[in-house]
Amino acid sequence: MSLVPPPSAPDVARDLSALRVRLAACAEAAALRPLGLGGLLLGPGVIADIADVVAEVRRDGDVVLLADRREMAGVAGEVKTFVAGALAGAGMTVRHVTLGDERAAVHADALTLRRATTAAAGAGAVVSIGSGTIADIGKALSAELGRVPHVIVQTAASVNGFADDQSVLLVDGVKHTTATRWPERLVIDSDVIARAPVELNRAGLGDLLATYTAPADWRLAQLIGQDDSYSPFAVELARAHVDTVLEHADGIHRSDPEALEHLSAALTLSGIAMGVAGRTAPGSGMEHTVSHLLEMAERPGVDAPLHGAKVGALSVLAAMLWARVRTVARAGGLRALRFPSAGEMEPRVGEAFAVLDASGRVGEACWQDYARKLERWNDARAELETLWERWPAFDAELDRLLASPERLVEALRGARAPVRLTQLGVRDRTARWALAHGHLMRDRFSVADLAFFMGIWDSADVDALLVAAARLGAGL
């Protein structure tokens, strides 16, 4: 008897109808959100259909082409030029809205969004071409302009945020994940992905590694009463095909089309998981929070490390912190948890972020988020003082949610991706600061919060973790 192999990641990602059926039938269906991605084209040469794709969704009005100044290679020439020509050849009027500076650096801040919204007024459709930041701005622009149809042309397998309805925006100097809109269509031409700079696709692998740590943070938040939204379906969707990507990590380094198609599909499924969950938690935990802090600390005029590359290196450290927490918890470390007051923590948060903004605005914005998390923690004190009794069952569950740091290091090395933050140009002092204070930035609970409340995540503990990481060739 022949066995039918399970569907591959590209097959699963392409069949959105089947995904919708699975979503409707899952145990958490009532709590999850509908899959709002209208359609996905994934494979070699699919960019040739861009005019038909846009025509399917366009209202009356010009087509706004949203992009930065970076040239992007495709089989038929530069990608933006090809798309503009295809749309014009189909009788559509194309309006170019170019974002960022001459170095193609783009920030999703209020000024950029305001200028883009003004420039795109009256559009019949928006076509975003390029990076995750461009796509995030396009999703926000689509929402701001009254749900104008939005088509994303993905040019690298660099992040998982192309396929969801959320954008990472810079608000008052602080990075926030903000609800925006699903794209009507997502176009991923694997011939274009294979021609992207290899470091972009390596960054996509790094972003995907967070699916081996972030779901544990999310489940932890449910365990301690911080967040009741945990979804096994969303976690399974985000994680189901990542093992295959890791097994072919060397193909990412070689720009192998099959490996990159699997990477693109797995990233898309991770993004869809975040969209149906209504939050980034299936693929974003401690490692992303620290990455956002590093991005907030970036120096103007200096080329910033890629988001996914930082996430990959930080996922190793998150996995190591999880291992440390589990060891200490098994030894009785949950029997004397900290319950600091708002009066104790508010000045600590302010001091932590004064290095970013001496005016105190950033610190105040972070405190507003952190204060909610701290209040929930203190309100649950009676239950948390018996957390040690419930921990063994949860600890066994973590075996299915976490991967070892060694496995993550092996995958990054297979793709020739950065394993150490200093390889990315992150300064030693900045990295230590971000690791020590990432848990103070937002209201989402992560392993770093638990480690802090256990008394094992102060500056000396950060240093000790980095020493241990160095033995793996990771960390700084």
Instruction: Evaluate whether residue 35 is within a structural domain.
Output: yes
Question: How would residue 4 be classed by pLDDT, with cut points 50, 70 and 90?
Answer: low
State the pLDDT at residue 2: 46
Same domain, 319 and 461: yes
The H or E element containing residue 25 is: helix 16-25
Pair 155, 194: CB distance under 8 Å = no
Give residue 142's Cα distance to chain centre: 20
State the pLDDT at residue 241: 92
State the pLDDT at residue 5: 64
Question: How would residue 3 be classed by pLDDT, with cut points 50, 70 and 90?
Answer: low
Instruction: Evaluate whether residue 4 is within a structural domain.
Output: no
Which of 196, 218, 241 lies at the terminal end of a domain, its last residue? 196
Same domain, 145 and 214: no
Q: CA dihedral defined by 399, 402, 406, 408, rounded to 10 degrees? A: 150
CA gap 326, 347 in Å, rounded: 30
Pair 72, 155: CB distance under 8 Å = yes
Pair 242, 264: CB distance under 8 Å = no
Q: What DSSP string runs through 60-103?
A: SSPEEEEE-S-----TTS-HHHHHHHHHHHTT--EEEEE-S-TT
Same domain, 173 and 314: no
- Quick: pLDDT tens for 385-409: 999 999 999 999 999 999 999 999 9
Mean pLDDT of 418-431: 93
Domain of 134, CATH number, reads 3.40.50.1970
Sign of CA dihedral 397, 400, 401, 407: positive
Instruction: Evaluate whether residue 264 is within a structural domain.
Output: no
Same domain, 26 and 118: yes
Give residue 41's Cα distance to chain centre: 21
Same domain, 347 and 453: yes
Beta strand pairing status for 166-171 and 174-179? antiparallel
State the pLDDT at residue 1: 40
State the pLDDT at residue 18: 95
Same domain, 330 and 457: yes
Tokens in use for 460?
A: 């000396």
Reference 220, options 418, 454, 16; nearest CA is 454
Question: In percent, how much of the chain has pLDDT > 70?
Answer: 97
Instruction: Evaluate whether residue 246 is within a structural domain.
Output: no
Same domain, 186 and 216: no
Residue type, 421: L
CA gap 351, 345 in Å, rounded: 10
Same domain, 400 and 461: yes
- The residues near 307 (Cβ < 8 Å, ≥ 6 apart) are 132, 158, 159, 203, 207, 291, 295
Q: Is the predicted pLDDT of residue 181 greater than 80, yes or no?
A: yes
Instruction: Evaluate whether residue 204 is within a structural domain.
Output: no
For residue 370, the number of C-alpha atoms closer than 13 Å in the C-beta half-sphere is 27
Beta strand pairing status for 174-179 and 185-189? unpaired
Same domain, 413 and 369: yes
Same domain, 400 and 367: yes
- The residues near 225 (Cβ < 8 Å, ≥ 6 apart) are 376, 380, 383, 384
- Quick: pLDDT tens for 106-137: 778 888 889 989 999 999 999 999 888 899 99
Q: How far is CA 302 from CA 217, 298, 299, 404, in A?
A: 32, 8, 6, 33
Domain count, the chain: 2
pTM, rounded to two decimals = 0.91
Same domain, 303 and 158: no
Which residues form the domain of 29? 9-196
In the block, residue with structure tokens 């366009």: 58
Instruction: Evaluate whether residue 460 is within a structural domain.
Output: yes
Tokens in use for 166?
A: 């959320």
Instruction: Evaluate whether residue 240 is within a structural domain.
Output: no
Pair 99, 112: CB distance under 8 Å = yes
Instruction: Evaluate whether residue 124 is within a structural domain.
Output: yes
Most distant CA pair in the chain: distance in Å? 71
